[in-house]
Amino acid sequence: MPFQPTPTAVDGVTLHAGAGTPAARRVLTPDALALVARLHRALDADRQSLLADRAGRQAEWDAGALPQRLTTPEAAGDWRVAPLPDDLLTRRVEITGPVDNARMVINMLSRGADGERADAAMLDFEDSMKPSWANVMAGVENVAAAARGDLEAVKTDETGAVVKTYALDPDDMPLLMVRVRGLHLDESNVQVDGQPVAGGILDLALCAVHSAPTLVASGKTPAYYVPKVEHHAEARWWDRLFSLVEDELELPRSTMRATFLIETLPAALQMEAILYEIRDHAAGLNGGRWDKIFSDIKCLRSHPDRVLADRATIGMNRPWMRDYARELIAVCHRHGAFAMGGMAAFTPGRDPERRAEQTAKVVADKEFEASIGHDGCWVSHPYFIGPAMKPFLKTLGDAKNQLGVIPYLDEPDLMPQGGGPYTMDGLRTNVRVGIAYLKGWNEGIGCVAWDDLMEDLATLEISRAQTFQWRAQAVTLDSGETVTGELVGQVFDRESAQIADELAEAFAAPGQALDAERALYAQAAADARSVFLEDEMRPFLATASDLAPVSPDPLADAATPSGTAPASGDGASVEVLPATADPAA
């Protein structure tokens, strides 16, 4: 479909024909679009150059080179990030989830039935949200309403009657944070001078315009997360973006703060240089362990001596992962920045025994993170806020953070090491995650609760990358089979049949509903099989958003008005359950 001038006719800016929804007309104000255009013109050429540099480095690694440690003389010196604002000094537990679903956002920003509340909520445009146009526009509106404290959502029954209204308590909210899309993602629905804008530019500009002045006026810090950085030159690009937005909004330098995810192997090898580049806007660094495992596999996919074991066996138990976490803490605390730990990705099981087992694992993980000096951690479900909080409360006592804790590392080795186990169960898990995730992706969802875990884009990426590497390196499983395309196809057949059987057990009776669900999973299995068996591994599942569908009704809205649950998320997304004593209730 053609692109056409925006409703506000900003020079050089065009929208795809399906993107001119009422929600977009509310979000894409003249000032907001003009800012997007200026940022694109100032920064996109450099972005394209940085992406080309990424491809060049990967080609070198594929040819046999290894990523190397990298710093700069300035970064190795004695310096501090800009002083942290008071509302960023306590971040023991942060909860994360997709920004497009108003009910999820309200749950993340509220106390559960047990009275527990996170210190911060990271509203996500990236790994846990599919960047459809409807989702992006709903996300911006939800951020704006959350900043005002008046976000509401309603739950209705089959007749349309309101069953429950969800609302925020503006006087009892955690720190509001927003994760924007990464450097590699284009927003296909908005073009400036005939070129798609960066998703990260669009997300940051729109959220800043619609929420930063509100937050500043109420004494709060506009806080953000930045994902997928691979080089300190990319961090410099992001720092320039934050400065340009501050200048455009007439905010003092360092008003906007960002935590950068160290979730790629090359970034782990240059943490100090990355933190130095963002020192004016830094809140800290985060050890994004799941994407890090994906990056370890992706970067070293052609190295037969560094073929990673089953994803379920790779965690902080591995020496290079422990050193990665400790070095992140040391770098951050030397320079006055926060060091955030990893994600507890469980969704509560349906029986008490399973929930007790999960809770014990969360507590053990967070006890380790707190013990080595992390200032906080992530959870993906409200049920685990309390269990994750307790180890930090015990370790911190009356302190707000652990900025004074600087681990000593004797020659840390951050390079991933190869070796098993390589098991059929691991391959089956990868295939099951691929099917489940792409079923949600096809329905506009970016995270799915599956086998008692919250699977988001990061874990899908691990699953497809590991399957690719095992196949490319002809790994021999512990059971004796060699991983080939034929074997992977057989596993897809078996797991598809198993999922069909599980669906039959889950539905009360055969019928159209069961048939429809089976058809959706069958399509997802076909899509996942195609992606997993590609001859050349794509760098990411997607590098551009889909074009918005063109509605036959020009007034049809892709998202409901600000303050209500977007139609794309209500009922389609995995619902975050309240943190009750019994999630099965």
- Residues catalogued as catalytic: 179, 456
> If phi over 0 gives left and psi between -120 and 50 gives alpha, with beta otherwise, what is residue 12?
left
The values of phi and psi at residue 464, to 5°, are -75, -35
Strand partners, 178: 123, 224
Burial class (CB in 10 A: 0-12, 13-18, 19+), 445: buried
Cis peptide before 387 (omega within 30 of 0): no
Q: Is 342 helix (H, G, I), strand (E, B) or coil?
A: strand
Helix (H) or strand (E) holding 257: strand 257-261
Report d(CA 466, CA 340) in Å as an integer: 26
Cα–Cα distance between 386 and 401 in angstroms, integer?
Answer: 17
Q: Is residue 27 helix, strand or coil?
A: helix
User: Element (H or E) spanning 376, and its range?
Assistant: strand 376-379
First to last CA, the chain: 47
CA distances from 507 to 349, 436, 498 (A): 19, 17, 15
Q: List, in order, residues 6 or more apart from 352 with CB less than 8 Å away.
A: none
299, 258 contact by CB (below 8 A): no
- Who's near 200: CB < 8 A, 6+ residues apart? 180, 181, 182, 183, 185, 226, 238, 241
Report the distance separating Cα 62 and Cα 472, nearest Å.
Answer: 12
Taking Cα atoms as reference points, which of 384, 393, 471 lies closest to residue 431? Answer: 471
Show the 3-state SS of 271-337.
Answer: HHHHHHHCCCCEEEEECCHHHHHHHHHHHCCCCHHHCCCCHHHCCCCCHHHHHHHHHHHHHHHHCCC
Residue 93, judged by CB atoms within 10 A of its CB (0-12, 13-18, 19+), counts as buried
Burial of 51 (0-12, 13-18, 19+ CB in 10 A): middle
